[in-house]
Amino acid sequence: MVFGVLTILAVISGIYCCDLPSFINSSLFVNDHNSILYGIGQSIIASYIFFLIQVVIVDKIRLHKCKDAAYYEISGIKSNMESISKLLCGERDIKEYEKDRIKDRLENINFFEYGSGMDFNLKEMTIIEALIYNLEEIDKKIKNLLVYNLIDENKKSVLRNISHSKLKMILIGMKENEPGSIDSKERGAEGKVKLTDRYRSINMNYYVEEIVKAFEQYYKLLLKIRKLIDNMY
């Protein structure tokens, strides 16, 4: 955005300062070489050249040197997103978003009890645990890319959308509301505190519906990540 604005200003200043209107019979930019505007135009052109050399070109060189590191992290993000796709849809490389097929699968799995086929610390994770694990891994990789400034603004925009995706929020919310027994404390008639058990249930129909809707956006983001990787080399 900034570079675009500066480029437009530099082009206008260049047209004004080089007397181009005299060649195209236009008086719009006819200038007085002793005027303040002429001096401002020259200053803009000089600043733009400095900006190109000291910022744009230097940044391009830096990003080129970081290309391998960025590729490694973005490839890892793609792999984690494909793992999430497999856990929710049954396959890593889905060709298109099929709402009914995804919904049918989600209605027939138990996120909190079924094994995911993925292990951590020599223990197989449940589906919800594996989903959260992959989300956390994605966040770590995105943080590395942003903190060390390894990518350009276009890639940053895609990664921010992934980091703030609706699917991520829904899955985290589902994990936080995991059903099961909860130890709670109650104060009795005599003022004594005693431990009691209560059970927390979860409305899975709601979460299934929300996941199905949110996955459409997530799938589009996965396609963008794949395209970014293809365009890097």
The residue among 41, 64, 87 that closes a domain is 64
Identify whether residues 48 and 73 lie together within a single domain.
Answer: no
The residue among 15, 46, 64 that closes a domain is 64
Identify whether residues 20 and 124 lie together within a single domain.
Answer: no
Q: What is the pLDDT along the chain (233 residues), one digit of tens a residue?
A: 666 677 777 777 776 667 555 455 555 555 556 667 677 777 777 787 887 887 777 778 777 888 999 999 999 999 999 999 999 998 877 778 889 999 999 999 999 999 999 999 899 999 999 999 999 999 999 999 999 999 998 999 999 999 999 999 999 999 999 988 776 666 656 656 565 667 788 999 999 999 999 999 999 999 999 999 999 87
Identify whether residues 22 and 113 lie together within a single domain.
Answer: no
Query: In a 3-state reduction of DSSP, which class is residue 199?
Result: strand
Containing domain of residue 35, as a range? 2-64
Identify whether residues 53 and 80 lie together within a single domain.
Answer: no
Identify whether residues 35 and 149 lie together within a single domain.
Answer: no
Identify whether residues 32 and 142 lie together within a single domain.
Answer: no
Identify whether residues 133 and 196 lie together within a single domain.
Answer: yes
Pairing of strands 180-187, 193-200: antiparallel
Instruction: Estimate to the nearest angstrom the gap between the alpha carbon of 84 and the chain centroid.
Output: 15
Count of domains in the chain? 2
Structure tokens belonging to residue 19: 């007397």
Identify whether residues 55 and 87 lie together within a single domain.
Answer: no
> What confidence score (pLDDT) does residue 49 get?
81
Identify whether residues 55 and 159 lie together within a single domain.
Answer: no
Taking the CB of residue 231, how many other CB atoms lie within 10 A of it?
9
Identify whether residues 205 and 190 lie together within a single domain.
Answer: yes
Query: In a 3-state reduction of DSSP, which class is residue 114?
Result: coil
Distance between CA 54 and CA 6 in Å, rounded? 14
Give the global pTM. 0.76
Q: Are 112 and 126 in contact (CB under 8 A)?
A: yes
Identify whether residues 153 and 171 lie together within a single domain.
Answer: yes
The residue among 64, 91, 116 that closes a domain is 64
Alpha helices per DSSP H over 24-95: 36-51, 57-65, 67-89
Identify whether residues 90 and 55 lie together within a single domain.
Answer: no
Structure tokens belonging to residue 192: 């004594």
Distance between CA 209 and CA 117 in Å, rounded? 24
Distance between CA 51 and CA 63 in Å, rounded? 17
